[in-house]
Chain A
Amino acid sequence: MYSVNYHRAASVTEAAKLLKSGDAKLLSGGMTLIPAMKTRLAAPSDLVDVSRLKDLQGVKVSGKTVTIGAATTHYDVSNDEKLKKACPALAHMASLIGDPAVRHKGTIGGSIANNDPAADYPAALLALGATIVTNKRQIAADKFFKGLFETALKEGEIITAVTFTAPAKAAYQKFRNPASRYAIVGVFVTKGKDGVRAAVTGAGDDGVFRSKEIEAALAKKFDASALDGLKVPANGLMSDIHASADYRANLIVVMAKRAVAAANA
């Protein structure tokens, strides 16, 4: 790791100021950034630690409205009793990230700011139609995830929370790479008052995306059988040593079926 200057911000405002120095980066759980710095893929001059800011932590549930602080760890999301009642699918999804020690450190804000094409949270937030709250504005998930490791965040903008309306039904299913345990395909489906949404991670050439084909089929009937024989195009899907685009296209339907079955269970 190259030399770096560490700062522990006392507030979001102070973090925003500190971010202006040199080539500074925000540090939350550090589960991606620190490994990237160790391999010198990332070399920020300064780190601004926001992980201890109390107003960025915790899950709030008010009626159907769920708000999760950006520095809430995957463990705390997976284990939150109110969330398990309001949106068990998201708590379950968080319990599938990494391993227990990683879940103790990694945060929802860090995950979506990084927007890894195989990360779980982007699929969840896209399917939930969530809003990403920053220190400057609110961004709809549909406009937030821009591409591989790319988001709508501007220079110096800090995610403070994520908020969404809990859907009537939701579930997430992922097919893991047996070695890395990342999603080769992960599908998050929801059925809420605005209809059906299905978001896919791990598969898209350009990161997380919504599957029109799956959404259209499930809008007619929210049942796994509605996806029988459905084909999603392999065009625009990743092909790598782990899986071809065709294989991923097939897996998307399989995972979507399992997710719908789980959502209806």
Chain B
Amino acid sequence: MSDVSLTVNGKRVSGTAEDRTLLVHFLREHLGLTGTHVGCDTSQCGACVVHVDGRAVKSCTMLAVQASGSSIVTIEGLANGADLHPVQAAFKEHHGLQCGFCTPGMIMTATDMIARHPEGLDEATVRAELDGNICRCTGYHNIVKAILAASQAMAKGSKGKAKQAA
């Protein structure tokens, strides 16, 4: 057993877990954050993607104790109260989900992807970057549309903020 201390969605949390406990199980079962899903459990489907110290990782392939000391953002940490995050809003607007099971991972991957491509995204890049996220319902078209729209909306938003700051 080890102590696991994390900052999750801005809040300090700690707990004790077996060393073999996966981060995804710690989030879901110890912290009750069930938005992060276990899909394939073999590092392929991406339903479990969260951000660890600012990077998208598969939480089914990381021990909770490995993450101890890190800052984690899960799907529950994106919206600002009742206001959806621009990526969440774009998935809703563009019907980027059907059953919704893969959606938390898709959205965490998308926010990471948009952050890593401040120059903007094109369709080929979005599709290549979704290599590690599997969706069985949508055929991906609307997911790709949603990510491209969110990327544009966020670029406009940040320019707006830059203007306000200036």
Q: A and B from one assembly?
A: yes
A23 at the interface (CB under 8 A from B): no
A30-B61, A31-B43 as given contacts; A2 in contact with B20, CB under 8 Å: yes
Within 16-74 of B, Cβ neighbours of A (below 8 Å) are at 18-20, 22, 41-43, 46, 49, 55-58, 61-63, 65-66
A98 CB, min distance to chain B CBs, angstroms: 7
Say yes or no: A105 contacts B62, CB within 8 Å. yes
> CB < 8 Å: which of B19, B41, B63, B131 contacts A99?
B131
Q: Could you tell me the distance between the alpha carbons of A5 and B56 in the complex, rounded to whole angstroms?
A: 26
Main secondary structure of the interface of B (DSSP, over half): mixed
Say yes or no: B61 contacts A99, CB within 8 Å. no
Identify the closest chain B residue to A5 (Cβ): B19
A30-B61, A34-B62, A105-B61 as given contacts; A100 in contact with B129, CB under 8 Å: yes
Closest 9 CB pairs of A and B: A99-B132, A99-B131, A6-B19, A104-B55, A1-B20, A6-B65, A101-B58, A101-B56, A34-B61
Residues of B within 8 A of A (CB): 2, 18-20, 22, 41-43, 46, 49, 55-58, 61-63, 65-66, 109, 112-113, 129, 131-133
24 contacts between A and B (CB under 8 A): A1-B22, A2-B20, A30-B63, A30-B66, A34-B63, A35-B42, A35-B61, A99-B46, A99-B131, A99-B132, A99-B133, A100-B109, A100-B112, A100-B129, A101-B56, A101-B58, A101-B109, A101-B132, A102-B43, A104-B56, A105-B58, A105-B61, A105-B62, A181-B131
